[in-house]
Amino acid sequence: MGPRRRIREDGNAGQAGTLACRWCSGVEMRFRSLHLLAVAAALTLGASAIAFAAKAPPKTPKSIVLGQTTNYPASGCPNPSKCEVVARVTGIQMMADGVAHPFRVPKTGTLVAWWLKLPKLQPTQMRSFNTFFGGDPAARIVVLRRSQGGRFRLVDQGPTQPLKADLGTPGRARYKLAQPLRVQQGDYVGLTAVTWVPAFAVNLDGTQNYWLASRARNKCSTPSSKDAKRFAAYYKRSQAHLVSSSVKLYQCSYQTARLLYWARIKPDATPTQTP
């Protein structure tokens, strides 16, 4: 009787052990299945994120400042030997400190503000320039679109900005536009001297700096102020680009000089793409 009982007990123990082992195997299999599902889901999400990142467009910058360079020269004024101004003309800086087309708009958007680096002038200089060019210094920021044959169309322009009160402002004088100007990629931002503007640096490296003026080729040679009669006749009629939608020739380039202006562009937001 004793041995048989032990056999049954051993058998029961073996049966219980087998049931326990089967239960453990089921749990383990379910755990492994869940683990594999979690890994697969993670891989799927990772692949989706990578695909979305590949399709997502680059972030649009909040704003772009045109005219930025490594070095910023000082105006020639009030030094009598270097004090020159830009008068009754529209100009575009086409190269500044070796940077080509620093005022070509890289992205479509709006022009929201602009700056000038304005020196302090001597009273005698103020009187002379006011007499020569018809009043106190004043300027406009303008948007130009290039055409063929050296022509530009005046797409839009800001209001005339008086500059007298800002002469000698430390750093740069900033002008925020109450009504921003629309710009398209490839447009140029220029500066119009309604009367005259002393934000002008001279005697620079001619291979690194030049600007383009709204003058026909036969008007490129500007007379000296020492020849009062010829000088007055040349500047009697403004050559500035003042009428919106009109087209003018920009055939005169001047090396060794830089118009000291800058402009801030706010690009349009890039549309969000769905994956």
How confident is the model over 68-127, as pLDDT tens digits? Answer: 999 999 999 999 999 999 999 999 999 999 999 999 999 999 999 999 999 999 999 999
The tokens for 195 are 């009367």
Identify the pLDDT of residue 69: 97
DSSP secondary structure letters along the chain:
-HHHHHHHHHHHHHHHHHHHHHHHHHHHHHHHHHHHHHHHHHHHHHHHHHHHHHHSPPPPPS-EEET--S--PPPSTT-TTT---EEEEEEEEEEETTEESTTB-SSSEEEEEEEE------HHHHHHHHHHHTSS-EEEEEEEEE-STTEEEEEEE---EE-GGGTT-SS-EEEEEEEEEEE-TT-EEEEEEEEEE--EE-S--TTT-EEEES--GGG-SPPPTTSHHHHHHHHHS-----STT-EEE--EEEES-EE-EEEEEEEPPPPPPP-
Distances in Å between the Cα of 233 and the Cα atoms of 12, 219, 227, 265, 268 are 124, 12, 10, 38, 45
Sign of the C-alpha dihedral computed for residues 125, 128, 133 and 138 taken in this order: positive
- Kindly report the number of other CB atoms within 10 A of residue 47's CB atom: 10
Per-residue pLDDT tens over the stretch 240-263:
999 999 999 999 999 999 999 999
Q: Name the least confident of 1-10, 69-78, 147-156, 182-191.
A: 1-10
What is the residue extent of each domain of the chain?
1-56, 64-267
Q: Name the least confident of 22-26, 137-141, 210-214, 222-226.
A: 22-26
The tokens for 158 are 């800001």
Q: How far is 33 from 25, CA to CA, in rounded Å?
A: 12
Q: Name the least confident of 19-33, 45-59, 71-85, 233-247.
A: 19-33
Per-residue pLDDT tens over the stretch 193-236:
999 999 999 999 999 999 999 999 999 999 888 888 899 889 98
Identify the pLDDT of residue 171: 94
Identify the pLDDT of residue 15: 45
Identify the pLDDT of residue 225: 82
Residue type, 155: V
pLDDT at 57 over 80: no
Band of pLDDT at residue 32, cut at 50, 70 and 90: low
pLDDT at 169 over 60: yes
Identify the pLDDT of residue 12: 46
Q: How far is 203 from 205, CA to CA, in rounded Å?
A: 7
Asked if residues 177 and 158 have their Cβ atoms less than 8 Å apart, the reply is yes
Identify the pLDDT of residue 16: 42
Q: What percent of the chain has pLDDT over 90?
A: 70
pLDDT at 39 over 90: no
DSSP secondary structure letters along 181-216:
EEE-TT-EEEEEEEEEE--EE-S--TTT-EEEES--
pLDDT at 10 over 50: no
Angle made by CA atoms 114, 203, 198, in degrees to the nearest 5: 35
Identify the pLDDT of residue 23: 42
Q: How far is 187 from 192, CA to CA, in rounded Å?
A: 16
Band of pLDDT at residue 8, cut at 50, 70 and 90: very low
The tokens for 203 are 């005697």
pLDDT at 164 over 90: yes
Identify the pLDDT of residue 265: 98
Q: How far is CA 37 from the centre of its chain?
A: 49
The tokens for 159 are 């209001």
Identify the pLDDT of residue 6: 45
Global pTM reads 0.78
Higher pLDDT pick, 7 / 169 = 169
